[in-house]
Chains A and B, each alone.
Chain A
Amino acid sequence: MSVTHTPPLNSTADGDPMPDQQRTAPAPVPARRGRLRGLAERHALLALLIAVIAFFSLYPPSRDVFFTSQNASVLLGNQSTVALLALAVILPLVSGYFDFSLGAIAAASSVFTAGLMSFDDLPLGLAMTAGIGIGVVVGSINGLLVTKLGLNSFVTTLGMATLLGGIIQWYTGGQTILAGLDPRLAQFGSTTLFGLPQVVYVVAVAALALWYLLAQTPFGRGLYAIGANPRSAALVGIRVQRSSWITFVIAGAIAGVVGVMALARAGSATADSGTSLLFPALAAAFLGATSVRPGFFNVVGTIIGVLFVSVSVSGLTLSGASAWASPVFNGAALLVAVGLSHYLGRSRGVRTT
């Protein structure tokens, strides 16, 4: 990330007369054209989503099942965990940090919530609290390692993810936890309200809350400032370390909720490392960063990103594509999203050091 119009500042006292004339402002972009282009850029993903929906609604192999309320209900219900995890993922990303452990946190939360009920006969409320608590604890450890000790967030959270994966294996013995779960949880996961699964409303509430936090509070504005330049942020009185640490904690807590929600949807907890959740969530977050507020991770864009990927995959599946279509589409979408945001010159280059 370089500030293109700022000349390299020379720290020597011997400021040789530098050519001021060579530093004139760039020609102002024709405002109207710029605004139109900006508008197109902001809504390109939404337009693409609508186009995909229209296509599969008309495409003969899928049109009978695709544009139905049942399909919408199934699709949104199945994608709720990915959507919520994507919301968790963008929080550290806004302030410039990766958190790769969020998928593993969700998996751990799921397994421990199930295990505490199944092995230790704990009541549902306590088990859920423990599951979400794991997310909070792991998130705060991640945050401390990355912000206080200044470790590389990419590597640190990757290590944490691997470690959690091992603990999950140890705790479950590689088995799926099925028996002894409180039936109310599975019931919550499968019940619909106004034609949509209840979990969708959980995601909606979380999205609203995060949108408010990121876009409508001074704290959220500060996070974007940290993401843009942590040095500058510190010098305008933003508590950089504390704010970044908080994003890891909130993200961990949300990932804990994702785990409980996954358990509610599936009715069982598998010994899984959580990558199957994490990668689509990352793809959605990066896709989201190309729209609504291009160049910045944002809540609305992320939700559109999740919908775009899941609708496309659903349409492909209903059109008879094989099981491999989903990961191929996810991966391709992620590559295109990252490439696009780089091409647009707005890539914020998430710090990996």
Chain B
Amino acid sequence: MTATSTETGPSAASAAPDDVVLRISGLTKRFGATLALDGADLALRHGTVHALVGGNGCGKSTSIKVLAGVHRGDAGRIEVAGRSWHVDDYDPRAGRAAGLRFVHQDLGLFPELSVAENFAFDAGYPTGPAGKVRWGALHRRVAELLAAYEIDADPRTPVAALRPAQRTLVAICRALQDQEGDQELILVLDEPTATLPQHESDVLLAAVRRRADRGQTVMIVSHRMPEVLSVCDDFTVFRDGRTVASIVGTRPTERELVGHMTGAALSRAIDAGTVAGALDEIAPPVADERPQAAPPVAGTHDAAVVLSVQDLRGGPLCGVDLELRRGEVVGVAGLVGSGRSSLLRTVFGEHRPAAGRVVVRDAAGALHEAGDTCARMDAGVALVPEDRGGEAAFAELTVRDNISVTVRRKYWRPWGMSAKQEQADVAALVARHGVRTSSPEAPFTSLSGGNQQKAVLARWLQREPTLLLLDEPTQGVDVMSRADIYATVREAAAGGTAVLVASSDLLELCTLCDRVLVLQDGRVTAHVTGAQLTPDHLTALTQSTAEDPAHTGAA
């Protein structure tokens, strides 16, 4: 294969070139100053299930987007079913004609419409004279397809009524519906199980495996190591936009795979010359973290404990315990679906927990248990949500309105709102938090993403919260603003605010946090502090299986 790949496994040599139905070579893609893909390679063999794995920001999604035509690559070649293009000439329609089919995480189904109609929107309705839809023919054809894919559903059922795994299967079946005769289609699944509960993803993967056993070629992009290990034949690992390992025809251990992703494996492997031997030694250093990680056992009588969560359940959360003390910045790491956002939202009172306790201590020292969003705010809790445009911004209102919205009662006088005091306060906040705006009266949308986020932070920090919940605080934020936001958060913590940060950016968690909790399948599976707090170590912990005792901290 190519120079950058590390081949392992006894059957590496058996990957005859003519077997390869999809080949990416030297794919490079740059976004501004960021190199998302740096000469990545990938070879997908016919009739196999191929896993494309890697940590956050490794470029795997970008490579899929280049294949799907969302982004245009800067350099490299793409080869599908014997046809080869330079990325400049690559046309997603050509890829489709050559047999590439995508099922993205957002399945692109119309939930209210029937299964049959979802198929028809892709392939067209069979019509009779005068353009009348031949419903009988459509339903028969879809019923045959569903039977062929072992989907136990009626074509007339609305998609919303199907189980999550069935919905994904319907999307897969729809993507492959024109696979007839001798044309071989290549199915690309982008994070198919990210939002599925465990048993649903088992059902889905078993079905995918059965298709593959009958000759279907599949590529799966996934975060979930145990899953890809259970169904995939070949593995390609990306790191920093490069292919760091391609493992053909053999199943590595989870530790090996995670080792490739974090880079520990590669360096050791090259040094040691033999991959297999080296991999056993590079177990993530977790043995000694237990003592520091054990959270203080102190109960709610400890005045420094601002937030105490006990056995919290509901939604994806299956028994979360945690404690936050004054002035502490604590991160929450975990994959999509691990319950990061749910944890924050439940603490903020937006979701009602199914079971468990969330106790918040306000500035005066009083304890507050259950409560809705307003009660939580009164108790000194603040939430900066992940979806800034959808859940934090008031787009058409002014920057002033957006900032003072959380304290608007403060400005009320019997004769009206005190505009003067409000303007003075907002001007001070804008200056203090470095919000770059032409005027506080400018519409909120005129700000850049980073400045919007600073304004949202200012909105909450003026309330001097005792507990600040941040969900992806720097998503879509430029580098300069990111540094400002970190400084602001640290300053708030220095002032005594306890901060809980959920982020998919592990580097961010390591930069910002005193300690990080790893959330897996709705449970805290590890606490990481001090020297252990590195992105690679966190990657290893978030990717590992909960059953693996070596990775389990205080649960």
Task: Out of B32, B436, B448, name the residue touching A19 (CB < 8 Å).
Answer: B32
The 8 A CB mask of A1-29 against B (1 = contact, 0 = none) is 11111110111111111111111111011
**B234 an interface residue at 8 Å Cβ cutoff?**
no
Q: Is the CB of B350 within 8 A of A6?
A: no
Task: Out of B36, B62, B408, B477, name the residue touching A218 (CB < 8 Å).
Answer: B408
Q: How far is the CB of B541 from chain A (nearest CB, A)?
A: 14
Q: Which of A147-155, A224-232, A309-317 contacts B (4 or more CB under 8 A)?
A: A224-232
The residues of B that contact A235 with a CB separation of less than 8 Å are 348, 350, 373, 383, 385, 391-392
The count of chain A contact residues (Cβ–Cβ below 8 Å) is 53
Q: How far is the CB of B58 from chain A (nearest CB, A)?
A: 8
Q: Is the CB of A229 within 8 A of B394?
A: yes
- Say whether, besides A3-B395, A217-B412, A17 and B335 are in contact (CB < 8 Å): no
- Say whether, besides A6-B393, A18-B476, A218-B412, A13 and B194 are in contact (CB < 8 Å): yes
Q: Is the CB of A14 within 8 A of B475?
A: no
CA distance A212 to B417 in the complex (A): 9
Q: Is the CB of B31 within 8 A of A12?
A: no
Q: Is the CB of A17 within 8 A of B446?
A: no
Q: How far is the CB of B345 from chain A (nearest CB, A)?
A: 9
The residues of A that contact B401 with a CB separation of less than 8 Å are 221, 224-225
The residues of A that contact B32 with a CB separation of less than 8 Å are 19-22
Q: Is the CB of A16 within 8 A of B394?
A: no
Q: Is the CB of B478 within 8 A of A20?
A: yes
**A342 an interface residue at 8 Å Cβ cutoff?**
no
**A31 an interface residue at 8 Å Cβ cutoff?**
yes
**A351 an interface residue at 8 Å Cβ cutoff?**
no
Q: Is the CB of A31 within 8 A of B445?
A: no
**B51 an interface residue at 8 Å Cβ cutoff?**
no
The 8 A CB mask of B28-69 against A (1 = contact, 0 = none) is 000111111000000000000000000011111110010000
Give the residue name and chain of the B residue nearest to A217 (CB).
B412
- Chain B, range 409-425, C-beta contacts under 8 Å to A: 409, 411-412, 415-417
Q: Is the CB of B449 within 8 A of A7?
A: yes
Q: Is the CB of B393 within 8 A of A232?
A: yes
CA distance A160 to B315 in the complex (A): 38
CA distance A229 to B478 in the complex (A): 24
The residues of B that contact A60 with a CB separation of less than 8 Å are none
CA distance A239 to B372 in the complex (A): 10
Q: Is the CB of A26 within 8 A of B373?
A: no
Q: Is the CB of A222 within 8 A of B449?
A: no
By secondary structure, the A interface counts as loop
The residues of B that contact A21 with a CB separation of less than 8 Å are 31-33, 478
Q: How far is the CB of B368 from chain A (nearest CB, A)?
A: 14
> How many residue pairs at the A-B interface have CB separations less than 8 Å?
175
**A348 an interface residue at 8 Å Cβ cutoff?**
yes
Q: How far is the CB of A244 from chain B (nearest CB, A)?
A: 15
**B459 an interface residue at 8 Å Cβ cutoff?**
yes
CA distance A228 to B62 in the complex (A): 34
**B272 an interface residue at 8 Å Cβ cutoff?**
no
Q: Is the CB of A7 within 8 A of B476?
A: yes
CA distance A306 to B162 in the complex (A): 53
Q: Indicate the member of A2, A9, A26 with the most B CB atoms within 10 Å.
A: A9
Give the residue name and chain of the A residue nearest to B391 (CB).
A231
**A216 an interface residue at 8 Å Cβ cutoff?**
yes
CA distance A269 to B194 in the complex (A): 64
The residues of B that contact A19 with a CB separation of less than 8 Å are 31-32, 34
Q: Is the CB of A14 within 8 A of B447?
A: no
13 CB < 8 A contacts A-B: A3-B389, A3-B393, A5-B452, A6-B449, A11-B386, A16-B59, A17-B31, A17-B35, A21-B33, A225-B405, A228-B396, A229-B395, A232-B394
Chain B interface (Cβ < 8 Å from any Cβ of A): 31-36, 56-62, 65, 105, 191, 194, 223, 335-336, 348, 350, 373-374, 377, 383, 385-397, 401, 405-406, 408-409, 411-412, 415-417, 436, 438-439, 445-452, 459, 472, 475-479, 504-505
Instruction: Beyond A7-B476, A9-B475, A228-B396, list 14 extra A-B contacts (CB 8 Å).
Output: A5-B452, A6-B452, A7-B449, A11-B336, A13-B223, A14-B223, A15-B504, A17-B36, A19-B32, A22-B32, A217-B416, A218-B409, A225-B405, A231-B391
Q: Which 7 pairs from chain A and chain B are nearest by CB? A: A216-B416, A19-B31, A21-B32, A25-B448, A3-B389, A6-B389, A228-B394
